[in-house]
Amino acid sequence: LLLESDIRNALEKKEFFLTYQPKLNMATAEIEGVEALIRWQHPEHGIVSPINFIPAAEASGLILPLSEWVLDEACRQAKLWHTQGYKITTAVNISAGHFNNGKLLEDIDKTLKKYNLPAECLEIEITENMMMQNMDVIIPMLKALKARKVCISIDDFGTGYSSFAYLKSLPVDTLKIDRSFIKDLHHHKDDIHIVQAITNMAHKMGLKVVAEGVEEQEHCQQLCSIGCDVVQGYYISRPEKADNIQGLLDVAY
Ligand code: G
Ligand code: G
Ligand code: NA
Ligand code: MN
C-alpha cells in the first residue's frame, strides 16, 4: 500500500520519472508529439504505475507538488527537444486536483517562462469527465490557455458523459478517442462506426482526432481509411524514457 508519506518521501528522493509515448501523424508519417506519462522507480517495488499512486496523491494534498513536478520536468524536456529542432508538442495529463485548486494557469505560465518554452510546444490532456464536472471553472481556464497558444486535448473521449452541446462551447484542439473503441476495431463493425462518426464530427468542428491504444497494424489501416489524423499506442511505441524515443523522432516512421 502506497501512502502519502511514501509519495512525499519519493518526491524528495527524486524517485519519479517521466516516460514519453510518441503520437504518429498518419498523413506526414512523422511523430508530431509525445504524451508524458509518470512512473515511480520504487526502491523495493520496482517501477510503479501511476494507477497505484495518483489516487492516493489526489486524496492527499500531494497531487499538487506531484503535478507541478510533472509539468516542470515535461517542459524541461520539451525545451531540449525544441532547442534540438524537433517540431513536436509535449502533452501532460492534468489531474483533477491541479485543475480545481486554481493554480494550474499560474504554474503553466511560470514553467513556460522558466524554460523559455513556446506555449505551442506544450499540450494539456484533460479527461472528458473532468471537463464536464467543472464546466464553469474549466471554460474560462481553457480560454486563457488557448489565448497563450497552449494545445488542449480531451482525453478518453467517448467514455465520459459529455453532451455534444457542451463540446460546441469548449475551446479545444483535439479529441483523443479512448482505446476501448480501438482495441477490437477490426472485428467489431460498431466500433468502426463510432470512431468514424467521432472523426467526421471532429473534422466538421475543426478538431484533430487522435486514436489511443493502437496495438496492431490492422488498427492503423482501419484508422487510416476512417480518416483519423494521429495514432498513439504500443504499435508505434510504448512509453519510453526520452533517450529511447530519440530514434523515432529522427526517422520518418
Ligand atoms: O501510463 P499509464 O500507465 O500507465 O497511466 C495510467 C493512468 O495514469 C492513465 O489514466 C494516465 O492518464 C494516468 N497518468 C499517467 N501519467 C500521469 C501524470 O503525469 N499525471 C496524471 N494526473 N495522470 C497520469
Ligand atoms: O488515460 P490516458 O489515456 O492518459 O492513459 C494512457 C494509458 O494508456 C497509459 O497507461 C499508457 O501506458 C496506456 N497505453 C498506451 N498505449 C497503449 C496501448 O497500445 N495499449 C494499451 N492497452 N495501453 C496503452
Ligand atoms: Na492522456
Ligand atoms: Mn486516454
pLDDT per residue as tens digits for the range 186-231: 899 999 999 999 999 999 999 999 999 999 999 999 999 999 999 9
* Burial of 159 (C-beta count, 10 Å sphere; 0-12/13-18/19+): middle
CA distances from 38 to 8, 17, 48, 224 (A): 15, 6, 9, 29
Residue 93: CB within 6 Å of ligand 2?
yes
Cβ(245)–Cβ(237) under 8 Å? yes
Q: How far is the CA of 211 from the centre of ligand 1 (A)?
A: 17
Instruction: Return the ligand 2 atom nearest residue 239 CA.
Output: 12
The domains of the chain are located at 4-250
CA distances for 139 relative to 107, 129, 154, 244, angstroms: 18, 14, 13, 37
DSSP assignments along 11-51, one per residue: HHTT-EEEEEEEEEETTTTEEEEEEEEEEEEETTTEEEPGG
Cα 37 to middle of ligand 1, angstroms? 5
Mutate to test the pocket of ligand 2, among 70, 179, 210 (most ligand atoms within 8 A of CB): 179
H-type helices in 15-163, by residue range? 54-59, 63-83, 96-100, 104-115, 128-133, 135-147
> Quick check: 134 pLDDT over 80?
no
For the Cβ of 93 lying below 6 angstroms from any atom of ligand 1, the answer is yes
User: Is the shortest distance between the CB of 233 and ligand 2 below 6 Å?
Assistant: yes
**Closest ligand 1 atom, residue 92 Cα:** 19
Q: Determine if ligand 1 sits within 6 Å of the CB of residue 70.
A: yes
Q: How far apart are CA 232 and CA 226, in angstroms?
A: 15
Counting ligands in written order, the one closest to the CA of 50 is 1
pLDDT at 252: 59
Which has the minimum average pLDDT: 74-78, 83-87, 131-135?
A: 131-135
52's grid cell:
497505484
Phi-psi region at 41: left, alpha or beta (left = phi > 0; alpha = psi -120 to 50):
beta
User: Tell me, what's the pLDDT at 1?
Assistant: 59
Q: Which pLDDT band, with edges at 50, 70 and 90, does 146 fall under?
A: very high
C-alpha cell at 50: 501511476
Give every CB contact of residue 175 below 8 A, 6+ residues apart in sequence: 153, 154, 157, 198, 202, 207, 208, 209, 210
Give the ligand at the shortest distance from the Cα of 126.
3
Mean pLDDT for the stretch of residues 85-107:
92
If one residue of 21, 93, 98, 100 were mutated to test the ligand 1 pocket, choosing by the most ligand atoms within 8 A of its CB, it would be 93
For the complex shown, is ipTM > 0.85?
yes
Q: Atom 24 of ligand 2 has which residue's CA nearest to it?
A: 213
Does the Cβ of 54 fall within 6 Å of ligand 1? yes
Going by their DSSP bridges, the two strands 46-48 and 30-42 should be labelled as antiparallel
Question: Could you tell me the three cell numbers for 156?
Answer: 478518453
State how far the Cα of 223 lies from the Cα of 180, in Å rounded to an integer. Answer: 14
Query: What local confidence, expressed as pLDDT, does residue 118 receive?
Result: 98
Looking at 1.10.580.10, 3.20.20.450, 3.40.640.10, 1.20.140.10, the CATH number of the domain 4-250 comes to 3.20.20.450
Contact 97, 67 (CB under 8 A): yes
